[in-house]
Amino acid sequence: MDFVSACHRCTMARQAAYIVGELVVRILLLVIFLITEDMTPFIREIQPEERWLYKYPHIQHDAVPTTVMFTISIATPLIVVIVYSTVKRDKIEAFQGILAVSLALVLNGVVTNTVKLMYGRPRPDFFSRCFPDGKWSKDMKCTGDPDAILEGRKSFPSGHSSFSFTGLTFAAVYLAGKLHCFQGKGRGQSWRLLLAGLPLLGATMIALSRTSDYRHHWQDVAVGSTMAYTVYRQYYPALSKPCCDMPHVAITPLADSALSNYDVDQDTLIQVKTSDSAIKMI
């Protein structure tokens, strides 16, 4: 009994260290994101021949406000994960899904802000921010609100685009895995593909609204985020694997090795059950 108790305490200690470590990483990334939000971007010189790119009107109200964008981008993948794991009564699935979503979003925020600050591309409405009275000078001495002017130099890439595509692409890929859209019985069934692809339509609409608001150039929103799938693959197998509906921690190293070396059919796949209290890193 003493040996069993010692093993149990050791397992619980590893679980606690794992959870704390994951939480610390996300908090650090969130802090970095918030700090970079207020940093001054690179002041890029605007050449005379390209000034026409930045003379669009400044619209006061966004078609998709920032608060709405964040709500959709964060809530959608979390709701999908929570609903699925609740139906399946799988705490491991819920835990791994929330870890993946949270990491994808905060990591995307850091990368997006870093590129914005380094590149410093003016927004299409930059001249309206710089010279709100419409009288602009050749020496580019701005007379507008300093905060609005600095924000006007953070066009590339679009934060709305990157966040919406990160959150909603994760939801789409997550659904594709659960529905086996690209493997076995799920192939050739259009309803599965349409359901999984629905979040991508929402992300596309949010991204395109940034061009009609004159907040971003088309190149800014065209740079879609690959962060979602990159982080997804850290927690879940490829969509072509028979076990694509299971997180990595629910697959034994033996089963995972077999899948990577042999063509295992879904009907013959042995899925390993894991207890709700066990979190095994592989």
Q: Where are the alpha helices (DSSP H) in the chain?
A: 2-37, 66-88, 91-119, 126-130, 146-151, 159-178, 190-212, 218-222, 227-235, 253-261
Which residue type is seen at 266? Q
Name residue, tokens 């009275």: 133
What the block records as the tokens of 58 is 């400044």
Is residue 25 classed as helix, strand or coil in its secondary structure? helix
Which residue type is seen at 97? G
Name residue, tokens 């305490």: 9
The residues annotated as belonging to the active site are 160, 216
What the block records as the tokens of 79 is 């709701």
One-character DSSP codes across 112-139: HHHHHHHH-PPPTTHHHHH-TTS---TT
The 10 Å Cβ neighbour count of residue 235 is 18
Q: At what angle do helices 159-178 and 91-119 cross, to 10 degrees?
A: 150
How many whole angstroms separate alpha carbon 114 and alpha carbon 141?
Answer: 26
